[in-house]
Amino acid sequence: MTEEVETRDPEEPRVMSGAIWSELCQSLEAAGRFVLGEDVPGSPADRAEGFRYLLRFLAAGINACVEHSDPDHPEFGRMMDLNERWGLDNPDCLYLIAGIRGDAAYRIHGDLGSALHLDVQVNAGHYAHGAVAAVRTIASINLQDLEPDDDGTIEIFLGGPKRPENWIPLGDDAQFVLLRQLFYDWERESPGTFLIERIGAPVTIPRPRTDQIAERIDRLRSWLDQGGQLWENMSRVMVSREPNSLIVVPPERSAEHSGTAGQSYGMGNFHCEEGQAVLFEFTPPPCRYWCVSLATWWWEAIDPATRQSSLNGEQAWLDEDGVFRAVIGPADPGVHNWLDTAGHVRGTLIVRLVDAERAIEPITRVVPAEEVLAELGPATPRLSRPDREQLLRQRRDVFQRRYRR
């Protein structure tokens, strides 16, 4: 068994005096600007949702910056969770994160599960630094490149001597590994079980030192301040564009800063007043995966577990001409491809595609809500209220299973 010698605690002054806790509380107080700032939606429901978002963002930060940031004794934690959504999360994706360092070697092992797509990605930097360019992808490997055992188990190695298969190199500045599982057929696909260990590390974890805790709390403060500011800035850019418009981001750009390799985006906004509906359509190209989803002002997916605020290529209905036609709005129009805004007047609209043969050409237009069915035509599949309730019940149950403890 490998033994590690515990180094002497440097007795970091801010930890010893308690000043670092006061600094953290000040950062938390300052984060209120993301709810109370100028032009932020301010209805009673928005205020409640905004402060709930801050609590969730704090909890996610504790996971990513404190609990799962130890590169010597790594453990996968959920970067997003059922009730911890941020950073324009994908409702089809289960995200796992663990801290690593570039001069070590790691082994990931477990049951592969049955997700449509798996991507394991090594990154430098951290989301807490508050800039897209502050996170850089070093290398990644996906399901098509992996060689599992016959029983469905898998071993993936990070760093150390180069291996002929299931190996990812580490750069000197590697800081975290991000594991994504994408689900298409929610009823049949199930998550894998993944464990991570630093090769050669002892099982027992030493007591934390004051300098380690100081570093993690400082990172958490940056997460709240700079990270929170980044997501607000990104949201403002999207929402301030021409209403109901999208820009298409090619895959070579999305993969540079921790985006999924091979994934392209159509990013923009929805703007839908009461009594209106937004008709949204595009022709999905041949691809491995696609989805469309809605997010709030705070860049959290609109409750995907109990509202149909997202649809993927397995769930969506395509018309006979191969076009995906959806209705975005707060009121159920009684059609299959409804995307529920949950009463949000404006927010982010995003399309994701993996390994797409070509870019999408989205079309949007606003119509009175009572004219939706006439605009779509008689061939559009109708959905009764009991059928909708059954679909929503299935969504809720799938999310509870996917995120079960």
pLDDT of residue 108: 98
pLDDT of residue 404: 87
Residue among 224, 175, 313, 290 nearest 29 (CA): 224
Local mean pLDDT, 10-residue blocks, the chain (405 residues): 69 98 98 97 97 98 97 97 95 98 98 96 95 92 95 97 97 96 96 98 96 98 97 96 92 63 92 96 96 98 98 97 97 97 97 94 96 91 95 97 88
Bridge partners of 391, per DSSP, are: none
- Would the CA dihedral through 159, 141, 78, 351 be positive or negative? positive
pLDDT of residue 379: 86
Query: Could you tell me which CATH number the domain at 13-232 has?
Result: 2.60.120.1600
The answer to whether 359 touches 310, Cβ cutoff 8 Å, is no
Domain boundaries, the chain: 13-232, 241-402
pLDDT of residue 1: 41
CA distance 28 to 32: 7
CA distance 55 to 73: 27
Query: Could you tell me which CATH number the domain at 241-402 has?
Result: 2.60.120.1600
Matching fold, domains 13-232 and 241-402: yes
